[in-house]
Structure 1
Amino acid sequence: MLRIAVVGSGPSGVYTAQSLVTQSEVPGLRIDVLDRLPCPYGLVRYGVAPDHEKIKSLQNNLRTVLEDERINFLGHVEIGPGGVSPERLLRLYHAVVYCVGASADRRLGIPGEDLPGSCSATDFVSWYSAHPDAGAGGFSLEWLTARSAVVIGAGNVAVDVARILSRGADELRPTDVPHAALGALAASRVREVHMVARRGPSQAKFTTKELRELGSLPGAEAVVDAGELALDPACSDPSGLPAAVRRNVEVLRGWAAPDREPRALERTLRLRFFLRPVEILERDGRVGGVRFEHTAPDGSGGVRGTGTYEEIEAQLVLRAVGYLGVPLAGLPFDPATGTVPHAAGRVLRDGVPSPGEYVAGWIKRGPTGVIGTNRPCAKETVTSLLQDADALARRPVEGEPVDAMRESGLRPVRWRGWLDIEAAEAELGRSLGRGPVKIADWDGLLTAALGAREG
């Protein structure tokens, strides 16, 4: 029997487990998918915006994998200090595949970044996605008293948070957004949202589908400055651009057209380009605005500073400039790339493959690609693991892993515990006259999952 632990139950972890059961011919294969949270699905549950039901429905595909009889979900299992160390995992399993993602966010590195009213888009997303750690800091409800918000970034995360800020609460009521967040968004005073990029439209990383949504919000008008589009040489004739980029440019040109009829809606969403943040300004002890330097194309795909500046008034600033991997105690880590050193998924210690240790997903390749990118990434790692299977299976392992976890003071949540959480969220929604509503705190999740019994 080959006993394997997959650490992380997001797409990369689930695709790794799926690849193991489809590629392996090892009899008696057992795969335990471990997660720090009592809930599976990772960023599909806690990163996809609540109004993106089609993407969130990917949970149904992930569920099918996790219900395979060869796969066991074990939530509420901390790896590292206070939980199970990587060294102990290797005594409990023949192989361990780390699929822990990139949980930190990149900073701007400018003055004023830590003022009240300034935080990462990751913290904002965690709040409206009901992540149980969201209450530990990061985003504060009182910041929604802002009249004007600046979102720094030009990827899909920036589009998501700009869209949520620009939506009315009634539009989010049918979703699973937690009830407290729904109430806070209903009371939000934000009336102007600026989504700002340091480069031009042809370098933006958002997808056309996400972009088009901004132009069809019932209560917000999307506005683009035609002069900023004109600064991007590719915008004057987008015919030579890749299809996805060309579609983005065409959408933006339509919003900047001089004959476009304004809709005079409650909120305004301004998409700005060629602005580089240089300072977050303080007023009355909190964010009061952002100072930007105007940039211009440098002829090599980048931008250069022009020495001219502009200030945008804002009381809320959300940075959406990328994720960053963080070290996991007991594993090697490359701080320059935010990844674990590896060779085709095999963890390298001092340049040598570490028997039984593997990585997949963002901790392996960095925070790049879309959800589907995790499939070939997982397949490569699993191919390496199965090539090593004969040697791995000869290594003795200790007794039942769940017993060892409980002896360490952990209370693992099994699959039936997760089903109890789902049932509790459905009941919570019914009591509020809504569909299923996420439970947003650790106590509520663990009470639903474990109750008076152990998982």
Structure 2
Amino acid sequence: MRHFAVVGSGPAGFYTAEALEKAYGGADSAGARIDILDRYPVPYGLIRFGVAPDHQSLKAVSKRYDKVAENAGVDFIGNVTVGRDVSVAELLELYDAVILATGAPHDRKLGIRGEDLPGVIGSAEFVGWYNGHPEFADLDPPLAGSHAAVVGAGNVALDCARILSKTRHEFEGSDIVGHALDALDRSAIRTVTILGRRGPHQVAMTPKELGELGHLEAAVPEVEPADFPPVEADEALDPGLRKSVTLLRGFADLERNKPKRIVFDFFAKPVAIEGDGRAERIIVERTLLDDSGAARGTGETYAVPAPLIITAIGYSTSPIADVPFEGGKFVNQNGRIGDRLFAVGWARRGPTGTIGTNRPDGYEVADQVAAALPPGSSDNRPGAEGLKPLLEQRGVMPTDYDDWRKIEETETGRARPGSPREKFVRHQDWLQAIGR
């Protein structure tokens, strides 16, 4: 029997486990055991901590992952940090192959003066705060000012702007955590400016997310028609982007009769953040596109007031000792890092694509694993039977899928009316829920 360790229980990890399970004979086969490891006691990674709480239909993909976890050949081993509790080298001794699916949890920096001032927050931190990530539960973003700025031209920027602009009523049915809901309900923010270095034709915003902005109870999106090329130029765009640009153009026709504004400021490159001991404004330089489509500064600068500045310009993977790392991801060739060591998802590609993009990615790497380690062969490595005693010796208490079900049941029972759950936001609360 083959034993595989998948490090990370987000979409990339579960799709890879699903692919490995199929490659080695299916649910009823004894061809492989697949252990999905995670540093938290609970699974799902990006689905739990990254997907917007008001996008419950997208979070429902976890039901597919449940089916993977329920297969006889798949186990969840949570509360284990690879690189601290156990090394990759040790995992390679215990398992036939190790697949890193650790995602990209860290914000990329703007690289401008003043970005370390209080009030400047990365989108991973802000999203983690309202989604119940234990590392960001105490973030306390500054919401007392009337202005906020979001730097970025992708869906995460839209998520942040939308969450800042919604009414309490609009969060009904979501699983936004209580402390964030209460803070946002008291927020004084009335203008959210979305800053993009390039123009409407270069956004990475999808139609669904853009369309939501046109139906908010208390906020209206605003665009400057002069930022758009002639409408005929839209015909050259791919269909998805063309639909997004059409939605953006339509924002110019909306009545501005609501108390909050979401302002799209295109051709605006952040160059500095200023303030007396904390962020008060972001200085941007007007840009133009050169022949290659790159944004070039014009020298014209202006200030956008913003005591809260959220940067949403991309993410990087966490390095792990003795694993080659460069450019925010693990160094790999088509997913292969080295002998019996692979990477999938954002840890392999960088933060690109959608949740669904991770499925073909996981299947591709699973095919490579199966080609290198054919079904029916075995190196007699112990897998979890060797890992769990090692963890016990080191005082590590792993969780399993039954533990997660107990945590889930407790979170569901704590839910406010209309919400599917009230998440725990402290590590110790997860463990207390299972009697640890």
Scaled by the length of structure 1, the TM-score of the pair is 0.91
1:195 corresponds to 2:194: yes
- In structure 2, what is the equivalent of residue 68 of structure 1? 71
What do the CA deviations read for 1:362-391 (whole angstroms, capped 9, x no partner)?
Answer: 111221111111112111211111112159
Cα distance, 1:236 vs. partner? 5.4
User: Which has the bigger relative contact order, CA under 8 A and spacing at least 6?
Assistant: 2
Indicate the residue corresponding to 1:440 in structure 2: 425
Aligned: 1:385 with 2:379:
no
Within-5 A mapping of 1:297-336: 297-333=289-325, 335=326
Counterpart contact for 1:6–1:97, Cα < 8 Å: yes
* Counterparts of 1:47 and 1:434, CA distance in 2: 18
The alignment partner of 2:6 has SS state of strand
Look up the SS of the partner of 1:343 in the other structure: coil
Tell me the residue number matched to 2:47. Answer: 44
**Contact 1:234 1:241 (8 Å CA) reproduced:** no
Q: CA deviation at 1:234?
A: 5.7
1:246 corresponds to which residue?
242
Partner of 2:183 in structure 1? 184
Separation in 1, partners of 2:255, 2:44 = 42
8 Å contact from structure 2 (residues 2, 380) kept in 1: no
Q: How far does residue 251 in structure 1 lie from its aligned partner after superposition?
A: 1.2
For residue 318 of structure 1, report the CA deviation from its aligned partner.
0.3
Aligned residue runs from structure 1 range 123-142, under 5 A: 123-135=125-137, 139-141=139-141
Residue 400 of structure 1: SS of its match in structure 2?
A: helix
- Cα distance in 2 between the residues matched to 1:248 and 1:277: 24
Q: Distance in 1 between matches of 2:188 and 2:125?
A: 19
| Secondary structure, aligned partner of 1:87 | helix
User: Is contact 1:202-1:235 (8 Å) kept?
Assistant: no
Judge conservation of contact 2:77–2:400 (CA < 8 Å) in 1. Answer: yes
Matches of 2:30 and 2:418 in 1, distance apart?
Answer: 49
| Structure 1 residues 435 and 396: CA distance shift in structure 2, 3 A | closer
Quote the residue 1:373 is aligned against.
357
Q: Which amino acid aligns with 1:274?
A: F
Of 249, 255, 263 in structure 2, the residue corresponding to residue 261 of structure 1 is 255
Structure 2 segments unaligned to the other structure (5+ residues): none
- Mean Cα displacement is larger for which, 412-421 or 27-36? 27-36
Partner residue, 2:170? 171
- String of CA shifts for 1:317-366, please: whole Å, max 9, x gaps: 00000111231113121x2x322222332223xxxxx2x22211111122
Task: Find the counterpart in structure 1 of residue 113 from structure 2.
Answer: 111
Q: How does 1:386-401 map to 2 (within 5 A)?
A: 386-390=370-374, 393-394=378-379, 396-397=381-382, 399-401=385-387
RMSD between superposed Cα atoms in Å: 1.8
Counterpart secondary structure, 1:69: coil
Match runs of 1:230-245 below 5 Å: 233=229, 235=231, 237-245=233-241
| Secondary structure of the structure 2 residue equivalent to 1:286 | coil
Cα deviation code 1:159-196 (max 9, x no counterpart):
00000001112211431111111111111111110011
Quick check: 2:40–2:78 contact (8 Å CA) kept in 1?
yes
Change (3 A) 1:380 1:291: same
| Matches of 2:250 and 2:362, distance apart in 1 | 40
Give the distance between the partners of 1:128 and 1:190, measured in 2 at CA. Answer: 16
Letter in 2 for 1:343: Q
Q: Which residue of 2 aligns with 1:274?
A: 267
String of CA shifts for 1:297-323, please: whole Å, max 9, x gaps: 212212211111111111100000011
Amino acid at match of 1:282: G
Alignment partners' CA distance in 2, 1:315 and 1:396:
55
Q: Distance in 1 between matches of 2:379 and 2:71?
A: 25
**Partner secondary structure for residue 413 of structure 1:** coil
Letter in 2 for 1:406: E
Q: Which residue of 2 aligns with 1:11?
A: 11
The amino acid of 2:324's aligned partner reads: P
Distance in 2, Cα, partners of 1:77 & 1:27: 25
For residue 280 of structure 2, give the secondary structure of its aligned residue in structure 1.
strand
Deviation at 1:28, TM superposition (A): 3.9
Separation in 1, partners of 2:420, 2:137: 23
Q: How far did 1:209 drift?
A: 0.8
Partner in structure 1 of residue 61 of structure 2 = 58
* C-alpha distance after superposition, 1:270-303 (max 9, x if no partner): 11100000011113x2111111100112122122
Contact kept, 8 Å, 2:415 with 2:422, in 1: the verdict is yes
Number of residue pairs matched by the alignment: 431
Look up the match of 1:404. 390
SS in 1 for 2:79: coil
The amino acid of 2:299's aligned partner reads G
Inter-partner Cα distance in structure 2 for 1:226 and 1:23: 52
* Structure 1 residues not aligned, in runs of 5+: 349-353
Query: Mean alpha-carbon deviation: is it higher for 152-161 or for 364-373?
Result: 364-373
The answer for the alignment partner of 1:351 in structure 2 is none
Supply the AA of the counterpart residue of 1:441.
Answer: R
Q: Which amino acid aligns with 2:247?
A: V
Q: Shift of residue 266 of structure 1?
A: 2.0
Corresponding residue number in structure 1 for 2:38: 35
Change beyond 3 A, Cα 1:280–1:45 = same
Q: Is the 8 A contact 1:49 1:129 kept in 2?
A: yes
Identity %: 39
Query: Structure 1, residues 377-426: CA drift from partner, whole Å, max 9, x if none?
Result: 11121111111215972254474322221222111111111001111111
Instruction: Flag the 1:22–1:234 CA change in 2: closer, same or farther, 3 A.
Output: farther
Counterpart AA for 1:86: V
TM-superposed CA distance for 1:436, in Å, is 1.4
* Post-superposition offset of 1:3: 1.2
| TM-score after normalising by structure 2 | 0.95
Supply the AA of the counterpart residue of 2:360: P
Within 1, Cα distance between the matches of 2:336 and 2:301?
Answer: 48
